[in-house]
Structure 1
Amino acid sequence: MQRRGPAPDVDSAPDEQQRWRALVVCLVAGAMTLLDVSIVNVALPAIREGLGAGPSAISWVVAGYALAFGVLLVPAGRLGDARSRRGVFVAGVVLFTVSSALCGAAQDPVWLAVARVLQGLGGGLISPQVSGFIQTMFRGAERGRAFGLFGATVGVSTAIGPLLGGVLVNAGGPDLGWRLVFYVNVPVGVVLVLLALRFLPRGSSGQRQSLDPVGVVLFTTSMLLLLWPVVQGEQGTPLSRRPWWLTGVALGLLVLFWWWERHWTARGRETLVDLSLLRVRSFMNGLGLGTFYFAGFTALFIVLTLYLQEGLGYTALEAGLTQLPFAVGSAVSAFGAGRLVSRYGRRLVVIGLVAVLAGLLAVDLMTPRLEGMEGLKLAPALLLAGLGGGLVISPNVTLSLEEVDVARAGAGGGLLQTAQRVGSAIGVAVVLAIFFDAATASGGDLAEALSVSLRTTIGLVLVALLLALLDLRRRVGSD
């Protein structure tokens, strides 16, 4: 049996007021890292002009962050479990803040790309600690409410990124605007470090655990190779021209990683990923559901922004405002879902996915009839999809982690977020390629391209719904 030892971050029961203050610190940090996934997209034209960056360099401004963020989630979660969750969190915020300042001060494309990789590493250190803190600080219905706020943060941050980016780019103008997108993180990061040192629980010292360095190398390399083909292509790169053979190598390394984890466990050492998680049905169903949902959820905003700006002539700010109803709906329902998940369980997720599908279908039906500022007619459909999305993200995290030992909360949360990031990257690559292929085939008809790509996102969300129904059936059968 695997020797675990006391967990260093099973927190020493901070009082109620302290817990909620600590949660606010975690959510602000999580929002900061998630915003930088989408906020940069609307600033790319200004970056291209300001630094004279070519398409390849611009693609790495996005890809460098996504790669570094995605590959570090599980190792960072394990580091927080095995050592000090607060220490890893603070280190991540410091790295994210410094690298944000470096991004804003960039004088050439290579400088900016390297700083974005460092920024992604900071984000990868922070994110798994957020779910780890929630898992260890809260119990029962309180945990559901805390994850509800976390889900609202995820949904709002992803959806509101283009709007905030548009505001900053417009406010700063062509020279300063894109730099403000990065500089805005600096004062937030400084305040977060001070608040984290004051409010985040230290955790008990406990017995030091193995960090499984071989497992870290194998897992990180496999994630890097898995993500590489889907993030390295420039916008519009056909799927057939990407190095998909690396996916086979990645899968081979994952098999080797599984063998190593079993070997390391047999020697009585702590592993990067607790293989017993793979036998927890609720965790594995939630893992798959989150992967497919985020593949469709994230891609939606990319293709919709492209259509609104290039098809209807919207500015970055106008495109962001059009998507605001989704953010509002997601925030409202995610907060309520945190209070309802303990009562309705997986049924809540099923209802949410059905609402998301209904909203996406409505957008698909309305797209050919939109002209100019009539894009605002999408607001009711996007509000419905947002209300549904808020019922998916936080309840799925709560239900997926409910049977996971709190001593493995960071690693389990990191694995969930890794699946979400991989799903997002693959979904964006596939849906974007379909969008551009459809635009070419239809002679530049972006409404048709949006419709075709929307049907792909609908298919991805349908898979998530199927997994939710299977998990619901299992839970009902075991009652």
Structure 2
Amino acid sequence: MTAARSPQPVDAAENRRRWQAVGVGLVAAFMTLLDVSIVNVAVPSIDRALHASPSDLQWVLSGYALTFGLVLVPAGRFGDARGRRNAFVFGIALFTVTSALAGLATSPAWLVVARLLQGAAAGVVNPQVIGMIQQLFRGPERARPFGVLGATIGISTAVGPLLGGLLIAIGGEEHGWRWVFFVNVPVGIVAAILGWRLLPGRPEGQPDRRRLDPVGVLLLGVGVVLVLLPLVQEQQWRTPWKWALIPAGLAVLVAFGLWERWYARHREPLFDLRLFSFQSYTLGSLIALVYFGGFTAIFFIFTLFLQNGLGYSALVAGLAITPFALGSAAASALGGRIVNRFGRPLVAIGLLGVVIGLAGTVVALRLAPDAPAPWVTAGPLLVAGIGSGLVIAPNQTLTLAQVPVPQAGSGAGMLQTGQRIGAAAGIAAVGSLFFSSLADNHGNWTTAFEHSLMLATGIIALALIAALIDILRTRNHTKY
């Protein structure tokens, strides 16, 4: 396996067309990733409208991330083998239909099923976008599109509560939550049409005999589900036997690795384990998994704290997240441009900023307990957002820098699988602490929020430690 070749010059027309393709991909990525967080502010409205249980609400949030993560690797592999344009258009069409179904839900079960299918559709779309960037750009020139994509990831997750709050304010408390899903429909239709026109298909004259490794798909899916189910259902499943599913899931994932190694001797595997021979890919995937475990959960608990605990409207709860979104947008644009100059230390600086900002949020709430929470937390969240912008885009660029184009889709899929698994596990773990702390402290929402935010901060600190260890190892290796 060899790394990507040096970039070749392109003419103006080709450059314009590839940026148009990237633009369509970014719109689709923004829409699908927005649905990770936009639903957070709609949870209280969904609860009242559909009389959903805590388990239902957990599945509405975590189920999307779960199926998103399950589909990423096989969808990326399918795009590598059969053409990214076909997979992209199919995924967008399915996402559009399932978004409409979610908006039409009349029961919790209906909404949960629609969200599971919607997450799977999002999982089909996203590896095609990253694989397309790998295909259309080479070497250092990938930093700019990956920087924009990283900004899209960070902004979509952070701005979701604000857009959700606006839609609920416009549509009303009773039906506004439905527009959180309906808004995807016109955007999805346009994205599907433009995607078919602008995205590159499979190169002609290169018939692909590679298969999609159904055994690998099954092993990966079963392993991920077994690991996550006890976390997602932690509050609902009271039996201690639920924790036995985690080692069982890890055993299945080990079997997946062994199968992929054997399968690679005969055919093209679902995921080429040799990608982990690149230190940049291994470390970047680890940082992404851990960071998203803390990062995504923040918006879930913050919106619950503001709406259910302090009585703010969905719109105000969304506005309270805006400082984080603005900081993330500005820093992502910068991080994508300078990542090739500073490398992994830039990611470490970003992680440190997130930790300082989130810790500062806890301190601010304790120093000014009677002040309006959205104002008190604005400054620290701005710092955390700036840090986040220096993490997501640069880490993605560094992680995928050495991945060869034929493995771009599956490599990107595994990277995003880590992000989605981290997100689902983070929401489950941090959310469980939030609700248990709320019960233990006699309904004290501020204490519950502070405890769960400290857990999220600790998870992100683990990603910082991993980045620092890599920096130290690299420097010591350079000396000798």
Q: TM-score, normalised by structure 2?
A: 0.92
1:9 corresponds to: none
1:257 corresponds to: 256
Equivalent pair of 1:239/1:433 in contact (CA under 8 Å): no
2:185 corresponds to: 186
2:292 corresponds to: 294
Residue 436 of structure 1: how far off its partner (Å): 2.4
2:448 corresponds to: 449
Equivalent pair of 1:67/1:231 in contact (CA under 8 Å): no
Residue 276 of structure 1: how far off its partner (Å): 0.5
Q: Distance in 2 between matches of 1:383 and 1:58?
A: 28
Equivalent pair of 2:302/2:449 in contact (CA under 8 Å): yes
Equivalent pair of 1:313/1:372 in contact (CA under 8 Å): no
Equivalent pair of 2:62/2:428 in contact (CA under 8 Å): no
1:329 corresponds to: 327
Q: Do the aligned partners of residues 102 and 262 (structure 1) sit closer, same or farther apart at CA in structure 2, a change above 3 Å counting? A: same
Residue in structure 1 matching 2:346, options 329, 345, 348: 348
Q: Distance in 1 between matches of 2:384 and 2:237?
A: 29
Q: Do the aligned partners of residues 213 and 238 (structure 1) sit closer, same or farther apart at CA in structure 2, a change above 3 Å counting? A: closer
2:228 corresponds to: 227
SS in 2 for 1:92: helix
Residue in structure 1 matching 2:272, options 268, 271, 274: 274
Q: Distance in 2 between matches of 1:105 and 1:426?
A: 28
Unaligned runs of 5+ in 2: 3-9
2:475 corresponds to: 476
Once structures 1 and 2 are overlaid, which stretch shifts more, 152-161 or 174-183? 174-183
Residue 238 of structure 1: how far off its partner (Å): 8.3
**Cα deviation 1:56-92 (Å, max 9, x = unaligned):** 4343333432222111111111111111111101100
Q: Distance in 2 between matches of 1:254 and 1:440?
A: 35
Residue 473 of structure 1: how far off its partner (Å): 2.7
**Cα deviation 1:420-467 (Å, max 9, x = unaligned):** 111111122111222223233333322222222222122111111111
What is the count of residue pairs matched by the alignment?
467
Which amino acid counterpart does residue 306 of structure 2 have in structure 1? L
Residue 373 of structure 1: how far off its partner (Å): 2.6
Residue 169 of structure 1: how far off its partner (Å): 1.2
Residue 240 of structure 1: how far off its partner (Å): 7.4
Q: TM-score, normalised by structure 1?
A: 0.92
SS in 1 for 2:372: helix
1:21 corresponds to: 20
Q: Do the aligned partners of residues 282 and 225 (structure 1) sit closer, same or farther apart at CA in structure 2, a change above 3 Å counting? A: same
Would you identify which runs of 4 or more consecutive aligned residues in structure 1 move more than 6 Å?
Answer: none
Which amino acid counterpart does residue 20 of structure 1 have in structure 2? W
SS in 2 for 1:79: helix
Alignment of 1:308-387 (within 5 A): 308-368=306-366, 369-371=368-370, 373-387=372-386
1:90 corresponds to: 89
> Percent identity among equivalent residues?
48
Alignment of 1:167-178 (within 5 A): 167-178=166-177
Equivalent pair of 2:430/2:455 in contact (CA under 8 Å): yes
Residue 227 of structure 1: how far off its partner (Å): 2.1
Once structures 1 and 2 are overlaid, which stretch shifts more, 379-388 or 113-122? 113-122
Q: CA RMSD in A?
A: 2.1
Residue 477 of structure 1: how far off its partner (Å): 4.2
Q: Distance in 2 between matches of 1:424 and 1:412?
A: 19
Residue 330 of structure 1: how far off its partner (Å): 0.4
Residue 334 of structure 1: how far off its partner (Å): 0.5
Residue 400 of structure 1: how far off its partner (Å): 0.9
Q: Distance in 2 between matches of 1:172 and 1:185?
A: 15
Unaligned runs of 5+ in 1: 5-11
**Cα deviation 1:248-267 (Å, max 9, x = unaligned):** 22111112112211221222
2:7 corresponds to: none
Q: Distance in 2 between matches of 1:173 and 1:458?
A: 34
**Cα deviation 1:170-195 (Å, max 9, x = unaligned):** 21113431211111000000000111
Equivalent pair of 1:25/1:192 in contact (CA under 8 Å): yes
2:5 corresponds to: none
Alignment of 1:53-68 (within 5 A): 53-68=52-67
**Cα deviation 1:294-334 (Å, max 9, x = unaligned):** 11111112222222223322111111101101001001110
2:165 corresponds to: 166
2:153 corresponds to: 154
Equivalent pair of 2:168/2:179 in contact (CA under 8 Å): yes
Q: Distance in 2 between matches of 1:468 and 1:336?
A: 20
Residue 237 of structure 1: how far off its partner (Å): 5.1
Q: Do the aligned partners of residues 300 and 241 (structure 1) sit closer, same or farther apart at CA in structure 2, a change above 3 Å counting? A: farther
**Cα deviation 1:205-230 (Å, max 9, x = unaligned):** 42311211111111122112222222
1:215 corresponds to: 216
Residue 242 of structure 1: how far off its partner (Å): 8.0
